[in-house]
């Protein structure tokens, strides 16, 4: 083979490699662009972490699960080093449940094992997440954002109960949780 022919073969090989890299980068950009567009960002809602305990939506008496006037199920929680309040969330199966949460101190997060419920809890912001639990059962809900020395001990539970049972408990209008009293 002449040296020209060798050079042409080598150049073609490099052209293929570079073409493949460019095509991969474009594919990644298209995928992430479409993926982000398909995932609506959380609404940006702010809350004052200094007055969380004394006034507003996240006072202790309002934490836990409630049924709004329009029938929507909302569960409210607060994260702080190193626990969630309430420690056990009681929710119904088969209907959408909206989580509303925030943090009093540093960035925490939660995910409900075995489900797609997953959010970050950032002080000053309200995280919202809506999901439907298909079946009754219990899930662990660990903090998944490193938040200090007690991080690995920070977790709560989510107890999913049948809808009828939930409705009969929710009748009184009080905030429900499965924290033993
Ligand atoms: Cu809270 Cu990690």
What is the distance in A from the centroid of ligand 1 to the CA of 86?
A: 15
Answer whether 147 contacts ligand 1 (Cβ < 6 A): yes
Answer whether 143 contacts ligand 1 (Cβ < 6 A): yes
pLDDT of residue 87: 95
pLDDT of residue 175: 87
What is the distance in A from the centroid of ligand 1 to the CA of 66?
A: 25
pTM of the model: 0.74
pLDDT of residue 85: 94
pLDDT of residue 41: 58
User: Minimal CA–CA distance to 104: which of 131, 85, 91?
Assistant: 85
pLDDT of residue 171: 77
| Per-residue pLDDT tens digits of the chain, which is 181 residues long | 788 899 999 999 999 999 999 999 999 999 998 887 776 555 678 888 888 888 889 998 899 999 888 889 999 999 999 999 999 999 999 999 999 999 999 999 999 988 888 999 999 999 999 999 999 999 999 999 999 999 999 999 999 999 999 988 887 778 889 887 6
pLDDT of residue 42: 55
Answer whether 153 contacts ligand 1 (Cβ < 6 A): no
Element (H, E) at 98: strand 96-103
pLDDT of residue 43: 62
User: Minimal CA–CA distance to 83: which of 141, 34, 125, 29?
Assistant: 141
170-176 long-range contacts, CB within 8 A, separation 24+: 170/65, 170/66, 170/67, 173/66, 173/67, 174/66, 175/61, 175/62, 175/63, 175/64, 175/65, 175/66, 175/76, 176/64, 176/65, 176/66, 176/90
Answer whether 141 contacts ligand 1 (Cβ < 6 A): no
Measured distance CA(166)–CA(129) in Å, rounded: 20
Answer whether 20 contacts ligand 1 (Cβ < 6 A): no
What is the distance in A from the centroid of ligand 1 to the CA of 63?
A: 19
User: Minimal CA–CA distance to 155: which of 99, 104, 88, 101?
Assistant: 88
């Amino acid at each position: 083979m002449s040296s020209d022919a060798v050079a042409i073969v080598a150049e073609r090989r490099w052209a293929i490699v570079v073409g493949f890299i460019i095509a991969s980068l474009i594919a990644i950009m298209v995928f992430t662009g479409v993926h982000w567009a398909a995932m609506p960002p959380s609404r940006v809602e702010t809350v004052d972490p200094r007055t969380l305990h004394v006034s507003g939506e996240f006072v202790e008496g309002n934490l836990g699960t409630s049924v709004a006037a329009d029938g929507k199920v909302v569960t409210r929680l607060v994260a702080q080093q190193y626990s969630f309040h309430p420690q056990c969330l009681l929710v119904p199966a088969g209907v959408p449940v909206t989580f509303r949460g925030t943090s009093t101190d540093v960035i925490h997060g939660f995910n409900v094992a075995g489900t797609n419920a997953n959010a970050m809890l950032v002080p000053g912001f309200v995280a919202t997440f809506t999901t439907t639990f298909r079946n009754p059962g219990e899930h662990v809900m660990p903090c998944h954002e490193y938040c200090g020395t007690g991080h690995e001990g920070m977790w709560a539970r989510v107890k999913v109960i049948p809808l009828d049972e939930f409705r009969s408990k929710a009748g009184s209008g009080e905030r429900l949780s499965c924290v033993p009293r």
